[in-house]
Structure 1
């Protein structure tokens, strides 16, 4: 691939802008300044620098974020910060999108990507990728409510029955459960349907990818094994 085309694919701007970066001596590969926009590259494990900042070539990007409270999963946020404010323009220029959404007051695991097929694989209703949520409830959880959640509830303006799996009490007013759909405000609406209310909500896991050590507000590029785990492919948990 030509150097100018590679830079454009990685989010550094238009072809013309990338050509100018190269001609200005901003791009180095293996410590050598490359000033020819038509320089041919081997993309295999390619690392390069632009104005002294090192980057790795990535055909597609797959990112896990421990979403903080008070951030919307929208490019056009209205009343709160946007999760996209946490990323630089180079990544945003690639067309980074959230894989599903979390409400502004919900924390936890959020995946972002510029790979449309991957996004579809995780969000299509037929895929039923499990997601584990932990929540603090307004009232103490009782066994009847837990049984109702597992047997399924109806949600207003939604077709079908919505049931959770692996419902368990973590404390008197703290609950963990797994859902396999992804309708609007599903967890909060399910708790309301059984006569309780979510006070705070946290997504701990998507597929077999579990949030463990990633601090709130931090993000990482996913490895191949972590990408597969998010798709619910392996049988064992992968922590991040």
Structure 2
């Protein structure tokens, strides 16, 4: 791949902007400053520097973020911060998108990518990739409510019944459960349907990918094993971040 094209693919701006970076002697590869925009590259394990900052070539990016409260999963946030404010312009220029959404007041595991096929694999209704949530409720959680969640509830303006799996009461006002769809405000609406109300909501796992010690507001690139785990419909085994 040509150097100018590689830089553009990695989010360093338009072809003209990338040419200007190269002509300004900003690009270094293996200790050599490259000033030819048509310099041909081997992309295998490629690392390069831009004004002294080191980057690794990535054909596509797969990112896990521990989303904080008061961040919207939108490029054009209206009332709060945007999760995209947590990333630099280079990543945003790649067309980074959220894989599904979390409400502004919901915390936890959020995946982002510039790979449309990966996004489709995790969000298509037929895929049924489970998402595990930890929920704190206003009222005590009853056995009857747990049974209703497992059997399935109807949600207004939605077709069919929505059931949770792996429902576990952690404390009187706290439970964990997995959902396999992704309709608007699903967890909050399911708890409301059984006569309770969500006080706080945290997503801790997608597929086999489990949020562990990643600090709130921080993000990491997914490894290949984590990438595969995120698409898995089985939650009995997991890879951690």
**TM band (smaller chain):** over 0.9
The match for 1:159 is 159
The question of 1:79 aligning with 2:83 is answered: no
Q: Distance in 1 between the 2:24 and 2:174 partners?
A: 57
Q: Using the alignment, how far apart are the partners of 1:150 and 1:20 within structure 2?
A: 59
**1:51 corresponds to 2:51:** yes
Q: CA deviation at 1:32?
A: 1.1
Note the C-alpha offset of 1:236: 2.5
Q: After superposition, where does 1:12-31 map in structure 2 within 5 Å? A: 12-31=12-31
Q: Show the counterpart of 2:8.
A: 8
CA deviation profile, 1:148-204 (whole Å, cap 9, x unmatched): 000000000000000000101111100100000000000000000000000000000
Structure 1 consecutive aligned stretches of length 4 or more whose deviation exceeds 3 Å: none
Secondary structure at the counterpart of residue 74 of structure 2: coil
1:44 alignment partner, SS class: coil
The answer for the alignment partner of 2:238 in structure 1 is: 237
> Where does 1:74-223 land on structure 2 (aligned, <5 Å)?
74-223=74-223
For 2:185 and 2:21, the matched residues in 1 are separated by: 45
Question: What is the DSSP-based 3-state SS (H/G/I as helix, E as strand, rest coil) of the residue aligned with 1:76?
Answer: coil
What is the TM-score when the length of structure 1 is the normalising length? 0.99
Shift of 1:233: 6.4
Distance 1:112 1:148 in 2: 33
1:101-150 residue CA offsets vs partner (Å, 9 max, x unmatched): 00000000000000000000000000000000001100110100000000
| Corresponding residue SS for 2:144 | helix
Contact in 1 for aligned 2:128/2:233 (Cα 8 Å): no
Q: Deviations over 1:72-118 (max 9, x none)?
A: 00001000000000000000000000000000000000000000000
Report the Cα offset of residue 226 of structure 1.
Answer: 0.4
TM-score, normalised with respect to structure 2: 0.98
Matches of 2:23 and 2:183 in 1, distance apart?
49
| Distance (Å, rounded) in 1 between the aligned partners of 2:108 and 2:237 | 20
The count of aligned residue pairs is 240
- Per-residue deviation, residues 23-81 of structure 1 (Å, max 9, x unmatched): 10000001111111110100000000001110000000000000000000000100000
Gaps of 5+ in 2: none
Structure 1 residues not aligned, in runs of 5+: none
Check the 8 A contact 2:130/2:233 in 1, yes or no.
Answer: no
RMSD between superposed Cα atoms in Å: 0.8
